[in-house]
Amino acid sequence: MERYFRLADKGTSIRTEVIAGITTFLTMAYIIFVNPDILATTGMDRDAVFVATCLAAALGSLIMGLWANWPIGMAPGMGLNAFFAFTVVGMMGFTWQQALGAVFISGLIFLFLSVTGIRRWLISGIPASMRSAIAAGIGLFLAIIALKSSGIIVASEATLVALGDLTQTGTLLTIAGFFIIVALDALRVTGAILIGILVVTLAAIALGVSEFGGVMSMPPSIAPTFLQLDLMGALTFGIFQVVLVMVLVEVFDATGTLIGVAKRAGLLAEGPTHTNVNLGRALMADSTAITAGSLLGTSSTTAYVESASGVQAGGRTGLTAVVVGVLFLAAMFFAPLAGSVPAYATAPALLYVATLMVRELSEVAWEDVTEAAPSVLTAIMMPFTYSIANGLAFGFISYALIKLLTGRAREVHAATWIIAALFVIKYAVFGGH
Tens-digit pLDDT profile for residues 39-49 = 998 988 888 99
Q: How confident is the model at residue 273 (pLDDT cuts 50, 70, 90)?
A: very low
- Once rounded to an integer, what is the mean pLDDT over residues 242-254? 75
Q: What is the mean pLDDT of residues 146-162?
A: 87
Picking from 200-214, 217-231, 247-261, which range would have the lowest pLDDT averaged per residue? 247-261
- For 264, counting Cβ atoms within 10 Å of its Cβ (0-12 exposed, 13-18 middle, 19+ buried), the class is middle
**How high is the mean pLDDT of the chain?**
83
What confidence category does residue 272 fall into, taking pLDDT thresholds of 50, 70 and 90? Answer: very low
What pLDDT, on the 0 to 100 scale, is given for residue 260? 65
Per the domain annotation, does 150 fall within a domain?
A: yes
Q: 328 pLDDT band (50/70/90 cuts)? A: very high
Give the pLDDT confidence of 191-218 residue by residue, as tens digits. Answer: 787 788 889 989 998 888 877 777 777 8
- Establish if 226 belongs to a structural domain: yes
355-390: per-residue pLDDT in tens?
887 888 888 889 999 999 999 998 899 888 877 778
The answer to the question of residue 244 being in a domain is yes
Q: Which residues contact 381 (CB under 8 A, 6 or more apart)?
A: 137, 387, 390, 391, 393, 394, 395
pLDDT of residue 172: 94
In order of 215, 374, 380, the CA distances from 402 in angstroms are: 55, 8, 18
Query: Which of 38-47, 284-293, 410-419, 420-429 is least confident?
Result: 420-429
Least confident of 8-17, 44-53, 412-421: 8-17
Q: How confident is the model at residue 401 (pLDDT cuts 50, 70, 90)?
A: very high
Q: Please indicate, yes or no, if residue 1 is contained in any of the structural domains.
A: no
Q: Are 273 and 279 in contact (CB under 8 A)?
A: yes
The candidate with the shortest Cα–Cα distance to 54, out of 229, 220, 253, 281, is 220
pLDDT at 270 exceeding the cut of 50: no
Residue 61: the pLDDT is: 92
Mean pLDDT of 282-304: 84
Please tell me whether the overall predicted TM-score, pTM, comes out greater than 0.85 for this model.
no
Phi first, then psi: give them for residue 161, nearest 5 degrees.
-130, 150
- Provide the domain limits for residue 329: 10-430
User: Which of 115-129, 137-151, 369-383 has the lowest average pLDDT?
Assistant: 115-129
Report whether pLDDT(306) > 80. Answer: no
Res 431 pLDDT > 70: no
Pick from 17-26, 121-130, 376-385, 409-418: least confident = 121-130
Lowest mean pLDDT among 63-67, 148-152, 167-171, 242-246: 242-246
Question: Domain total for the chain?
Answer: 1
Q: Is residue 137 part of a domain?
A: yes
Residue 3 lies in a domain: no
pLDDT higher than 80, residue 308: no
332 within a domain of the structure (yes/no): yes
Q: Quick check: is 162 in a domain?
A: yes
